[in-house]
Amino acid sequence: MSSWREKAEAVATSLKGERVYWSDLVEEPIGVGCSGGADSVCLLLLAWLRFGDGLRVLHLNHGLRGADADADSAFVEALAGELGLPFFGKKLDGAPAEASEAWLRGRRMAFYRHSGCATVLLGHHADDVAETMLMRLTRGSGTEGVASPLAVQRFYEEPMLMRPLLGIPKSLILAALQAAAVPWREDASNATPDYFRNRVRADVLPALLEAAPGNARAGLSRSHRLLAEDAEALNAWLDSLGLVIAAGAPLELSPLKNKPAALWRRALQRWIGVNGLRDTLSAAAVDGLLDGLLAGEGGQLSAGADERIIFNRERVYREKLSPVGPGTSWPEFRLRPGLTLWLPGGLALRVERVKVDAATRTDIFAGNIDNRSCVYLDENMGKRASAPLLCCIRQWRAGDRYHPLGAPGSRKLQDCFTDAKILVLERKQLPVVCSPTGNILWVPGLPPAESAKIGPHTQWALRLTYGAH
């Protein structure tokens, strides 16, 4: 039987004509993330030839596949021993049965961080590139997201990730291992439709490759490389602005003045990342926040149960919420679709732009929408407007009047409160939603304004929800 060095050299020889990306940026100590699958075993052997005995073999057992996962761990540990490399393994306890890809990715990053490695090599290949591009496009990702996975990826206070095999198709990796008689493990869960990536791999990508003229996989790989180059250039431009982006510190906006929106977005995403808010803010919330900044507006949005983000023309910053009483006053805010406004008293108001489908229209006309917590407003207030409606949020003021839906004319807001049996102490806490011209459109607990009602031909609406978000 051939030695492991002979096997590794045979694999390297088979892939000699392919581009293996070994970056000069690599920092020691170096770990190789190895699941036991073909791609990570291939990478481990190539890295072993290049970096020698200083490598660490990293294996995380997610605890989701029972005996099969334990067998994978045993295989990787045995392989590390035969190569004379230290093995760092861990088994997760209490992983949810329906763990998402994002959840699993987060646990892997935590494991890599605790391994003590400065660089972690990962076995993503060209097929992963194509799958990820298609997945990210459906999620509305930008340049950086569609260009993932990157050959070199840095994170705040995390190990640097490197992916040397991004230019090599899975088929060539399998052929190289088979020719060298190198064993690997197969993960049966990769064949199930439980995960989005598996469905893309089994159904979408093969159909695309068959339908597309020419070498679609090569085209996807080239687009990936070009997008990665653009992302690198934009990040370098952002770095040159001298912005200080740190946890707990405000994001000062003056260096971004008169710069393209792409730089604003990157700066904002970095600030969100270093402050641990990626899982708190939705893509729609980030888009709404960016739109507000580019428009030179101020406002706030929820960043969890006890925190909010405040933004104005000068900076973006975090603020802890303090317990407040019913008499607390607060300033007027402008709220764009996609943003959430966290209000005194622990409740929040969220605005979303939604398509009015037949089912929604039926519920609205039938009175099935509870106006204490939700309302649909015609975004153009029955007129042909060129831009979506911008909501102004303020407190109740003496003398406020509005025209409730179905009423013959306008009424004092105070009288409407009385008829709806809304307590006096509660009235000052309720958000009064107005149009940019000051017309009252809705107050939680009351019907929407006649001028903003959903009609039989309304296509788009602003959905406002009030409560605990």
Instruction: Mark the binding-site residues for ATP, compressed into ranges.
Output: 35-40
Under 8 Å between Cβ of 36 and 185: yes
> How many CB atoms sit inside 10 A of residue 298's CB?
16
Numbered residues of the known binding site: 35-40
Provide φ and ψ at 13, rounded to 5°.
Answer: -65, -40
Under 8 Å between Cβ of 300 and 308: yes
- Specify the DSSP class assigned to residue 404: B
Helix and strand totals (H; E) in the chain: 15, 20
d(CA 422, CA 444) in angstroms, rounded, equals 10
The CA distances from residue 77 to 36, 81, 120, 122, in Å, are: 9, 6, 17, 17
**Cα dihedral 291→454→371→347 (10° resolution):** 0
Strand positions, DSSP E, 140-277: 152-153, 160-162, 251-252
Provide φ and ψ at 47, rounded to 5°.
Answer: -70, -35
Computed over its alpha carbons, how large is the radius of gyration of the chain? 28
> How many CB atoms sit inside 10 A of residue 157's CB?
7
d(CA 405, CA 402) in angstroms, rounded, equals 10
Under 8 Å between Cβ of 29 and 56: yes
